[in-house]
Each structure stands twice: as structure tokens, then as C-alpha cells.
């Protein structure tokens, strides 16, 4: 009997390989949309109507969230719990190559860390960013390079790291930036 993770993977992976248009869309969502999202988040914070020091605190907090989720948590988990990507485990043809460990998804870790930080500053912008981040992650499953559980773990860890940074590091960052202006 196939588990839920495998069944969801095969459902989404079933969309690839049948249409060049769909495959091109999946590659765009998987590879190029993450870059666009991060650039858009940076531009949003630069152009937002926050005071300069608050923008600096947001930028530093965002970088810290990504570093904590992607590097500290993600690479530690990958070291202790390496997981073969579905394309290798099941000898499938992905839409693009990936060669690192599958669990947790690095894209989900980073995007949901940024999305969580954006949400802390602007709920509407954060929700929109996270919806688009989810589209990226679903496309990566459909492309054959991740299992749904890789995405779920990455999203939870990334969002959790953003929350931790917002709760504990951002107040400290704000106070340090405040002392620099005095």
C-alpha cells in the first residue's frame, strides 16, 4: 500500500512530461520564480513606508531567518537524515537536475523564512508571498525533485525560524540599530 507522501508525489508528478507548455511552466515556477520572489521582497521592504532603521531591522531579520532555517536547521537535518531525491529513488526523469539531499526542501526553508518575516511586517504581503512560495514548492514536487513531505518540513521549519527570529532576535536588532543612531 502506498503512503500518502508517495501518492501525493505521483499525483503531482503526473502533470509533468506530457506537455512542453506545462513542463516549461513547472521549470519557471521551480527555478525562476524563487529568484523573482526574493528580489520582489527586497524591493518591497526598500520601498515600504517604514522608517529607515525598521527597514534595516527587517532586512537583517530576514537574512537571519534564512540563515537559521536554510543553513543551521536544513543542513543539520540533511547531515543526520539524508534522503535520496525521488528521481533517484524511483529512477524517474525530472524536469531539471538536482543532486543534494531532498529532505527538507531548501527552497521551502528559505522561501517560507522570508514569507514569515514579510508576514510579520505586512500580513497581506506575507500571505501573497507564501502562496507564491507554495506554488514554487508544488512545482518542485511535480518536477520530480522533491516529495511533498520535503516541502511540508521545509515550510514548517522556515516559518518557525522566522517566528523565532521575529520574537527573539528582531527586538535585539532594533535596539542595537537604535543605539547606532544615538
> Cα(118)–Cα(76) distance, rounded to whole angstroms?
25
In a domain, residue 147? The reply is yes
CATH number at residue 125: 1.10.606.20
In a domain, residue 14? The reply is no
Looking at residue 7, its pLDDT comes to 85
In a domain, residue 8? The reply is no
Looking at residue 2, its pLDDT comes to 57
In a domain, residue 9? The reply is no
Looking at residue 101, its pLDDT comes to 85
Looking at residue 37, its pLDDT comes to 96
In a domain, residue 133? The reply is yes
What grid cell was written down for 158? Answer: 522556515
Among 105, 112, 102, CA closest to 41: 112
pLDDT in single tens digits along all 182 residues of the chain? 358 888 898 889 888 888 999 999 999 999 999 999 999 999 998 888 888 888 888 899 999 999 999 999 999 999 999 998 888 878 788 778 888 888 999 999 999 999 999 999 889 999 999 999 999 999 999 999 999 999 999 999 999 999 999 999 988 898 888 887 66
In a domain, residue 96? The reply is yes
In a domain, residue 118? The reply is yes
In a domain, residue 157? The reply is yes
According to DSSP H, which parts of 93-147 are helical?
106-121, 123-142
Among 75, 179, 167, CA closest to 117: 167
Neighbours of 77 (CB within 10 A): 18
Looking at residue 182, its pLDDT comes to 62
Looking at residue 55, its pLDDT comes to 87
Range of the domain at 117: 19-181
The domain tally of the chain equals 1
Amino acid at each position: 500500500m502506498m503512503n500518502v507522501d508517495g501518492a501525493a508525489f505521483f499525483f503531482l508528478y503526473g502533470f509533468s512530461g506530457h506537455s512542453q507548455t506545462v513542463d516549461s511552466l513547472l521549470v519557471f515556477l521551480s527555478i525562476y520564480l524563487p529568484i523573482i520572489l526574493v528580489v520582489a521582497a527586497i524591493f518591497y521592504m526598500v520601498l515600504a513606508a517604514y522608517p529607515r532603521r525598521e527597514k534595516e531591522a527587517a532586512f537583517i531579520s530576514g537574512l537571519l531567518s534564512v540563515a537559521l532555517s536554510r543553513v543551521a536547521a536544513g543542513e543539520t537535518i540533511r547531515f543526520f537524515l539524508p534522503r535520496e531525491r525521488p528521481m533517484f529513488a524511483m529512477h524517474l526523469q525530472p524536469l531539471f537536475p538536482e543532486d543534494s539531499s531532498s529532505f527538507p526542501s531548501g527552497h521551502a526553508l528559505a522561501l517560507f523564512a522570508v514569507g514569515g518575516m514579510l508576514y510579520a511586517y505586512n500580513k497581506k504581503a506575507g500571505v501573497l508571498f507564501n502562496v507564491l512560495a507554495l506554488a514554487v514548492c508544488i512545482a518542485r514536487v511535480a518536477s520530480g525533485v522533491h516529495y511533498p513531505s520535503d516541502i511540508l518540513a521545509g515550510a514548517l521549519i522556515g516559518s518557525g525560524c522566522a517566528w523565532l527570529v521575529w520574537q527573539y532576535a528582531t527586538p535585539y536588532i532594533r535596539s542595537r540599530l537604535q543605539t547606532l543612531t544615538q
